Structure 1
């Protein structure tokens, strides 16, 4: 299956409806093929920035989120729907990398973050503000629409809606991050069969889970304690969703998987 040249720039916000109607299949695509998609100097700077601000396990989660989202793009993310504005693969990938890599930057324990005036906001909003400042500093060629889509995707990636439209970027960030946290049962038993098990195995080999389960539960648990009105509290399942995070790999490292 070849990757389309353009994708729907906007898709239904209601995730169950979107997943029920989208023709996404778990086709195999190698990690090497995903990694071969070019990233620019601003992407590299965002990677360094995030690595400096997050714990190792959270940083690895951010990278897995990106590669899972990229695989979903390849596997049938809506494209060419009549009447729906299109976004090129290159433009979507450009925005998606920034949004995925920095989607949890609000978890930072870096001194710059701890002293930031937006620190007391929900981590999604705080992270979006950090990303907004960073993007303007590192890549002044990005226009208001590009920065707005990236930042809004970070701010809204744990927000669910029953109606309306969401950008392709925020939808892919939500799908990639949710899949990385709870796997193939992300939105109910067997609901997330959109990434081939071999693809998952290869991505997890590159970016092991490490102490992610412990770390994410501590971070989100504190978010709920300190900010009872936090945005994550409105996400499906709330804290229980995070408690279901995988301790082990989504796919065992020794599982033999056919790619036929």
Structure 2
């Protein structure tokens, strides 16, 4: 959503006078969009947990990135990665809204970063935006940036849980998962996501997620509605 650049510092105290002056045109702002935002926050914390738990480091011949720099890029990437899900008038009017949501969101993120984070250089912005654009793609070869891989892993983990990475996979400790989900509950993310992605599949049959193995219907089958770790089952040794 967008706001005017300025507001009146003082307004009439009289309610009738106030509403005579105000140009009130109520617009629906769905609080459900917070579910997507909380998904983004969980992704950030899951990415940090993955990073802490053995992410490749000091491999001979491989360029290194500092934790501080990677955490900065991750923060921007995770919080902005689903901008393409927007239902706001501003988002739907954006020239990129006809593209698959990953590209739509990536271009909106590019615009946002240039306006709001001008201190980021071309490499930083490029890594953040490319990681957003590619975060749903299951690629079989080549290289990913650390930012891109962590965005990919954390997004898929939050949406699908442990088993999407292979039965018994355990790259985030279940106690950590439980604490993150308790602090930032899933709520109705699955239902909201299904509604948004059904629209995506209907309006953009060639969207990136249409290439998921088996197509959209198969994708919906692996989306978790319930917490990844049940509060009664979390332990130090399993999930």
TM-score, length of structure 1 as denominator length? 0.76
Task: Note if 1:154 corresponds to 2:128.
Answer: no
* Aligned with residue 186 of structure 2, among 209, 215, 225: 209
Q: Looking at secondary structure, tell me which structure has more strand per residue.
A: 1
Partners of 1:241 and 1:100 in 2: CA distance: 21
- Note the residue ranges of structure 2 that are not aligned, 5 or more in a row: 1-28
Deviation digits for residues 65-112 of structure 1, max 9, x if unmatched?
111011000000000111111100000110011111111110001111
Displaced runs of 4 or more, over 4 A: 51-54
Q: Indicate conservation of the 8 Å contact 1:96/1:150, yes or no.
A: yes
Taking only aligned residues, the RMSD between alpha carbons, in angstroms, comes to 1.9
3-state SS of paired residue (1:163): coil
Structure 1: gaps of 5 or more residues: 1-50
Larger gyration radius, structure 1 or structure 2: 2
Task: Quote the offset at 1:256 in angstroms.
Answer: 5.2
- Name the structure, 1 or 2, with higher relative contact order (CA <8 Å, separation 6+): 1
Once the two structures are superposed, what CA deviation does each residue of 1:154-206 show, in whole Å capped at 9, x if it has no partner? 0011122222111111110010010101111013322x310111100000011
In 1, Cα distance between equivalents of 2:211 and 2:136: 8
With the length of structure 2 as denominator, give the TM-score of the two structures: 0.82
Residue in 1 aligned with 2:147? 169
In 1, Cα distance between equivalents of 2:165 and 2:155: 12
Of the three residues 182, 186, 209, the one matched with 2:160 is 182
For residue 217 of structure 1, report the CA deviation from its aligned partner. 1.1
Instruction: Report the equivalent of 1:62.
Output: 40
> 1:219 aligned to 2:202?
no
Alignment of 1:14-93 (within 5 A): 55-93=33-71
